[in-house]
Structure 1
């Protein structure tokens, strides 16, 4: 696969973090992601199925084919779907850059939190386009770690986040890809491209987001690269611990945390 190493790893804790993220952000990211009954939908890069569950429940009459390159992730995704009693999803192993589907196989394609891990996201988007029927749509959702800001301010926390961005770049990915969705989709040949920012704003009046997003999703994601940061000498241990402590500090009653996701749609012209 022409992609990057998954910088967050494949641990049980990472699978749990992805589930926390999906549950917490369902209404923000997926309120309008619904496909008509009878439509055929490709989820390209389903991972452990955190988004698959939401996708299938939002569109119970659609046929969803969820593809991933990792056998372990596919097993976890299938188990998750079985536990939820979902019956409209089929899982299949496949490389995003060489999927075994005929042209025009799908009415819609859904790609969520995948492009950030690819060395050539435009190539991936361009390769997916022929799989859509004329008039078919693609939906792409990505984050942008450069959009994180918070109170109280912390230079150590900013540096810890930047370390994650740099490590992902070293691995061949791009943690800032959210801001690039419009040009990527246009250059890949999609028409009518539209991008919407989805801002997560968190303060003490939103305790579910404090716990579900600031602490268990974003901060947990940064914490996951601790060993790599220290092994490479990107921060000292005391600097790192200060940065993580300051991210947790934003969860206190006077703390505030903000982050922006980007949701893009495009169409294949008839």
Structure 2
């Protein structure tokens, strides 16, 4: 069974570039505090095009990595990306589904998941399977965004509508663009213990012109804008209203505009003693 009913953002070269830009922009924010000891066996589930992988291996060069994705094309891109940036990194690439992992029980010391759960139709099932391959006492790190935390100045109902369109299309595809707020309950529901969640916020205004360009325009607005044709075909907005919404969203990256978004980073531990 495929882990993703449909990846709403698609697999274009433009999307691969956007994912890379997003990972580079958010690397310090998202990866701070995540490093694994030399020799650790670490699984990155849902590695996609390797946008996060390059930062993971840079922060933990001595770890032994397995990077897994259901898309063979994405894995090829990831392999090339890591080879170009970190040729000495020890990474084994695995084409498989997160619901049916081809690994033994307790095979990994740590598991890392970023921007995967939001696209899954059965998040708890995936987390239970990830817990299976994690050794007792090992950690699972999950990072997810939440479109409900997106707010901006000047406010615009049209801009909020285009964001909602992307969230609705993701829901139709089997995912949930508001997964961030559920990270803690999802981990606990899947049997993880010692769960902790941190909220890591992006706030961009005139004092951070780099962040307004890199995150608001090149990451968030680019992501929302990428579903234009899908939204129009589904009749969610008219072309004129969509274009106005995107223009209003981009206004947050100029003049006196501001933009806020939050990511939720959760860590859970596989209990040493589990109730059958």
What is the number of residues matched between the two proteins? Answer: 270
1:254 and 2:256 are equivalent in the alignment: yes
Task: Determine the C-alpha separation between the residues in 2 that align with 1:145 and 1:94.
Answer: 28
Residue 236 of structure 1: aligned partner: 238
Structure 1 unaligned segments of length 5 or more: list them.
none
- Does the Cα contact within 8 Å between 1:41 and 1:108 map onto a contact in 2? yes
Q: Paired residue for 2:226?
A: 224
Q: Is the 8 A contact 1:3 1:120 kept in 2?
A: no
Give the structure 2 partner of residue 11 of structure 1: 12
Q: CA deviation at 1:88?
A: 1.7
Deviations 1:133-178 (A, max 9, x none): 1110000000001110000000000000000010000111111011
Q: TM-score, normalised by structure 1?
A: 0.99
**Structure 1 residue 81, shift from structure 2 partner:** 0.7
Partner in structure 1 of residue 212 of structure 2: 210
Aligned to 1:39: 40
Match of 1:77 in 2: 78
State the match for 1:165 in structure 2. 167
Equivalent position of 1:107 in the other structure: 109
Indicate the residue corresponding to 2:91 in structure 1.
89
* CA deviation profile, 1:166-206 (whole Å, cap 9, x unmatched): 00001111110111111111010000111111110001111
Matched, 1:61 2:51: no
**In structure 1, C-alpha distance between the alignment counterparts of 2:40 and 2:254, rounded to whole Å:** 45
Provide the aligned C-alpha RMSD in A. 0.7
Is the contact between residue 48 and residue 76 of structure 1 (CA under 8 Å) also seen in structure 2? yes
The answer for the alignment partner of 1:266 in structure 2 is: 268
* 2: CA distance, partners of 1:119 / 1:262: 19
Q: What is the Cα deviation at residue 3 of structure 1? A: 2.7
Pairing partner for 1:191 from 190, 193, 215: 193
2:126 maps to 124
Moved over 6 A (4+): none
Counterpart in the other structure of 2:155: 153
Match of 1:139 among 123, 128, 141: 141
> TM-score, normalization: structure 2?
0.96
Unaligned segments of structure 2, at least 5 residues? none
CA distance in 2, matches of 1:40, 1:2: 23
